[in-house]
Structure 1
């Protein structure tokens, strides 16, 4: 499923909900568009196994506000994202537990 959500008060489209993912991923281009300083990233992280089976070294991790829905059906949480620099059709990948 592909949705739109607010991440750090920015409307972000093309977010993939991946029920098999164990982490929330925010890709580098959309992260840079949020205007958040790279100094805010936690650099103490382990590599990530990509969809293709390649090992990807994340740029860092960060906790950001995530809001989904509208009106009285709007949900808001703070969630951790791994920031990854690789090509994809999506801006972010959210694991299903983040939406519950």
Structure 2
């Protein structure tokens, strides 16, 4: 069952409803489009490729800085839909569990298993160093798993 009819913006006359619709339509055309989000550039120099024999299937593993901690073994995974920080890395940075914000969802792993998310933390993350450094806020889902090769996966 539905309720239809009633007052249209405080008036029941036909002319008032038409006036309201015309004003609403004209305001739609005045709304500005939101600016597109800018994604920071990620670039590599020749120095980054020294002593590297690239292959098509090589994983991209980098080092980042979070809260003045150098975090190694950070996997860049373009197939991942989220940014993940493993519990051991979270503890190694001496972050308190109270700093986690609640997260109600679960993640599905590579083999279909569900991984419980302990929460999320928004942390300033610095990529690169020196003049080429870029610091952005990254929202990491923190998960606890028995074994992992990486500290963070950035999707």
Same fold (TM over 0.5): yes
The structure with higher relative contact order (CA 8 Å, sep 6+) is 1
Q: Residue 123 of structure 2 aligns with which residue?
A: 64
Where structure 1 has 5 or more consecutive residues not aligned to the other structure, the ranges are: 96-100
Higher Rg of the two aligned structures: 2
The answer to whether the 8 A contact 2:103-2:117 is kept is no
Contact 1:66 1:79 in 2 (8 A): yes
Q: How far apart, in 2, do the equivalents of 1:32 and 1:75 lie?
A: 24
Structure 2 unaligned regions, length at least 5: 1-59
Coordinate RMSD, CA, aligned? 0.9
Look up the match of 2:154: 94
In the alignment, does 2:86 pair up with 1:30?
no
TM-score computed with the length of structure 1 as normaliser: 0.90
Q: Which runs of 4+ in 1 moved over 6 A?
A: none
- Partner Cα separation in structure 2 for residue 75 and residue 5 of structure 1: 10
- Larger relative helix fraction: 2
Count of matched residue positions in the alignment of Structure 1 and Structure 2:
95
